[in-house]
Amino acid sequence: MRTGSSRKGDARGERVFHGLGVSEGIAIGTAHLNERGVMEVPEYDVPAAERDAERARLDAAVKRSRQQLEKLRAKAAGLPDSVAEELGFLLDAHLHMLADSRLIRGATRRIAEDGRNAEAAVQAEIAEIAAGFAAVEDRYLAARIQDVREVGDRLVRSLINRPYQPLSHLPPDSVILTEELSPAETALITPGEVAGFATVLGGVESLTAIMARSLGLPAVLGVPALMHSGIRSGELIVLDGSAGLVVVSPTAGTLAEYKEKHAAYLRERRRLDRLRDLPARTRDGVEIRLQANLELPGELDSVLAAGAEGVGLLRSEFLFMNRDDLPGEEEQYLGLAAVVSAMGGKPVTVRTLDVGSEKLLTSLGGRTTESVNPALGLRAIRLSLKEQPLLETQLAAILRASAHGPVRILLPMISTTGEVRAVRRILEKVLRRIRRRKQAPKIEMPPLGAMIEVPGAALTADALARDCDFFAIGTNDLTMYTLAIDRGDDQVAHLYNPLHPAVLRLIQFAAEAAHRAGIPVSVCGEMAGDPRCTVLLLGLGIRELSMAAGSIPRVKERVRVMDHLAANRRAHMVMDQWDAGRIAALLDDFNALA
């Protein structure tokens, strides 16, 4: 195989691109380039008193678009010289157009003088610039108008916070190639149609990566030159989600090699499927509860097929994705009740809305995007407590869904005991209100728990345990906030490591606090689904793990060959270490012997 990114206009032939393998499996299919299409934008008049705010909205979208381009530029710098140069020029030109350009000046004037909304102002300005260019027959200028359109589309997309094009109704076995795929866009993918996807931006523990694993879709993120290398829609693609490779127009030899790898992968899955009905019990008789994380109702079949003992983390954001309005109580209730009923008496832990940072939702009207640093801003429980009617509606829906089976309520991004108490008071009020209604008079108060995913929460877990009925340790955010590494940023993905001793000490402290207080504690971050870490988590006293359904068989296999006492001893050994590499080696060494 010839490796390295190719230049625009290369002769056809096999080309290989490298990125982060975030979701295992081999996809063989045809390229679907998800480029910017024509977007329908809302058009309305803005009253004079609101025009300053509308201009500020445009400014914020310009800023976000610039940030996206800067990120792409940084990625491009890592490419081979000639490609980096070519791509660098292009991105510089785009950045320039987002500075004090005719496009921005014109759009701003249309808002201020004509009272147009920002999206319509940008589109009208592009149309006028294009009309001017169309009169001139010049290839250079023709290329520039394409650039203006691309920049305008980026801006409008940022304003309306919508996917470029719907990712449904694609030909079977499509491999999506795109700049970036948001969690909301990923939710639109139909696994039967799409064989896998690759993106330029995105990190290993981003929600998009997590969703790919849950959907069982092979995925490679962080592939620098993917969108500017002349790949055409319809070209044959092989995508290796474990090795992080995208092979374009593979030779017959490469194709045969990957078909064999794919067959071997499917044989391995069939072998693991046979574990479905066997207990997750260590050799010395310790029972471990293996549950599934659920991001979309479409994953329910695989959750049931994997033999999950419940849903240990239901990320409720799906109810709010890809829509402009907020779902009401009835709609949320129906969505949740369907999951609870389908689980047939197995417990479902519903997490309240965890919006913010990468998890942006159009239905919230951009209320969460204004923070200087969204990961540290008004998100998750902070937003729910600020927008109390939103929280009350969600709690009412969860309470009503609990009539269909055992439910627990989980709060994201808790950092103080005050937050848990505030939610409990609201929950009690909502419960009283619901009991007064005829439709659900007998509903009981479900257990209320906290995600331990902020270092401050882990370090005060003993205090939190007094106000919580259970803990769920979220190692994804705990790692991000402890090490100050954005989990969704491919540029620092190599530094992201949940085996860092600082993260492990926080897990240990939180688990011990839960044990002392006699409340259940689970781990539901991606670490829970990594069989390499099973010995460590069990050794630290964790008895409940929640993970992507597809990870359950491998973790169960690990549990079943393990001696719990030996796991305890190994965990002690690990906790004496200060080097993540040495810790990984100690785990691998244990796993090789067990």
Binding of Mg ion at residue 453 (CB under 5 A)?
yes
Which is closer to ligand PEP, CB of 51 or CB of 315? 315
Residue nearest to ligand PEP (CB): 474
- The single residue among 119, 240, 329, 453 that binds ligand PEP, judged by CB under 6 A, is 453
- Which listed option, Mg ion, ligand PEP, none, makes contact with residue 315 (CB within 5 to 8 Å by class)? ligand PEP
- Residues 256/257/260/261 CA torsion (nearest 10 deg): -140
- The single residue among 51, 110, 289, 315 that binds ligand PEP, judged by CB under 6 A, is 315
Binding of Mg ion at residue 474 (CB under 5 A)?
yes
555, two tokens: 């973790």
**Distance of closest approach, residue 306 Cβ to ligand PEP, in angstroms:** 18
Determine whether 38 is exposed, middle or buried from the number of CB atoms within 10 Å of its CB (0-12, 13-18, 19+): exposed
Which is closer to ligand PEP, CB of 246 or CB of 457? 457
- Which listed option, ligand PEP, Mg ion, none, makes contact with residue 539 (CB within 5 to 8 Å by class)? none
Binding of ligand PEP at residue 477 (CB under 6 A)?
yes
Which is closer to ligand PEP, CB of 167 or CB of 294? 294
Among residues 551, 76, 47, 5, the alpha carbon closest in space to that of 275 is found at 551
Binding of ligand PEP at residue 530 (CB under 6 A)?
no
Q: How far apart are CA 1 and CA 14, in angstroms?
A: 7
- Tell me the window of 25-33, 272-280, 447-455, 537-545 that interacts with Mg ion (CB under 5 A): 447-455
* Structural element, H or E, at residue 292: strand 289-294
Q: How far apart are CA 587 and CA 536, in angstroms?
A: 7
Q: Are 2 and 197 in contact (CB under 8 A)?
A: no
Binding of ligand PEP at residue 122 (CB under 6 A)?
no
Q: How far apart are CA 45 and CA 116, in angstroms?
A: 5
- Which listed option, Mg ion, ligand PEP, none, makes contact with residue 382 (CB within 5 to 8 Å by class)? none
Neighbours of 180 (CB within 10 A): 19
- The single residue among 475, 508, 522, 534 that binds ligand PEP, judged by CB under 6 A, is 475
- Tell me the window of 91-99, 157-165, 242-250, 473-481 that interacts with ligand PEP (CB under 6 A): 473-481
Among residues 547, 592, 548, the alpha carbon closest in space to that of 570 is found at 592
- Tell me the window of 251-259, 456-464, 474-482, 553-561 that interacts with ligand PEP (CB under 6 A): 474-482
**Distance of closest approach, residue 486 Cβ to ligand PEP, in angstroms:** 12
- The single residue among 185, 477, 486, 489 that binds Mg ion, judged by CB under 5 A, is 477
Q: How far apart are CA 124 and CA 335, in angstroms?
A: 40
Q: How many residues does the chain have?
A: 594
Q: φ and ψ at 354, to 5 degrees?
A: -115, 65
Q: φ and ψ at 347, to 5 degrees?
A: -65, 145
**Distance of closest approach, residue 485 Cβ to ligand PEP, in angstroms:** 13
Interface with ligand PEP (CB under 6 A): 210, 313, 315, 354, 453, 474-477, 524-525
